[in-house]
Amino acid sequence: GAGVSQSPSNKVTEKGKDVELRCDPISGHTALYWYRQRLGQGLEFLIYFQGNSAPDKSGLPSDRFSAERTGESVSTLTIQRTQQEDSAVYLCASSLQGSTRNTIYFGEGSWLTVV
Amino acid sequence: KQEVTQIPAALSVPEGENLVLNCSFTDSAIYNLQWFRQDPGKGLTSLLLIQSSQREQTSGRLNASLDKSSGRSTLYIAASQPGDSATYLCAVNSGAGSYQLTFGKGTKLSVIP
């Protein structure tokens, strides 16, 4: 596709429910990243994929958070037993390679509200 | 732990003015620094990427400089336009096998017609 695509764009869920957020990176981009942005805060790194592997998942805040990537393409971020503090915008990004020299492209985000 | 600070948090200028946005980071051992633009309800758009070996990058009316030793970067916007109104984010990559970007909280720019 032309850019990074994320779905859903907005999600309201009840506390305790599980949610899945999807990311379609730019075609051919082998590196994929998930970030979180809470209201009034800076972006926080969650996880980095190179291909289908996640060499850096150090930013996942708890074991309720998990992510996978298949076909070196689509990625899914899953949050189990959601809590109110999980409310945030979840941003996916991709780059041509997992190199510090490559520009990173972001999607428009999935806005998650836990009530 | 790397920390990125952006000052001011908000800035309002009349159309046509030149302006400078500031970014500072605590650990000078960075691989690169990027400036992004974020519009309300939208994702981030990369504006300029400066590698650690570079001093500046230019794109149109935008010029970003990097002084790695002092832990500072500036984004200069010439002849500002109302369409430049957005939040500008600075992010650094500290490398060392990590691909994480550490972001500042941004400067919200309003250009008044």
Q: Tens digits of per-residue pLDDT, B24-57?
A: 999 998 989 999 999 987 889 999 999 999 999 9
Nearest partner of A4 among A115, A104, A114, judged by Cα: A104
Residue A34: what pLDDT?
A: 97
Sign for the pseudo-dihedral over CA of B19, B22, B28, B32: negative
Residue A99: what pLDDT?
A: 66
Q: For all residues of chain B together, what is the average pLDDT? A: 93
Residue A104: what pLDDT?
A: 87
Measured between CA atoms, the residue of chain A closest to residue B30 is A100
Determine whether B105 is exposed, middle or buried from the number of CB atoms within 10 Å of its CB (0-12, 13-18, 19+): middle
Q: Is A45–B51 a contact, with Cβ atoms under 8 angstroms apart?
A: no
Sign for the pseudo-dihedral over CA of A3, A7, A11, A17: negative
Q: Is B42–A108 a contact, with Cβ atoms under 8 angstroms apart?
A: yes
Q: Tens digits of per-residue pLDDT, A77-108?
A: 999 999 999 999 999 999 987 666 778 899 99
Give chain A positions within 8 Å (CB) of B102: 45
Stretch A55-84: mean pLDDT:
95
Kindly state the percentage of chain A with pLDDT values over 70.
96
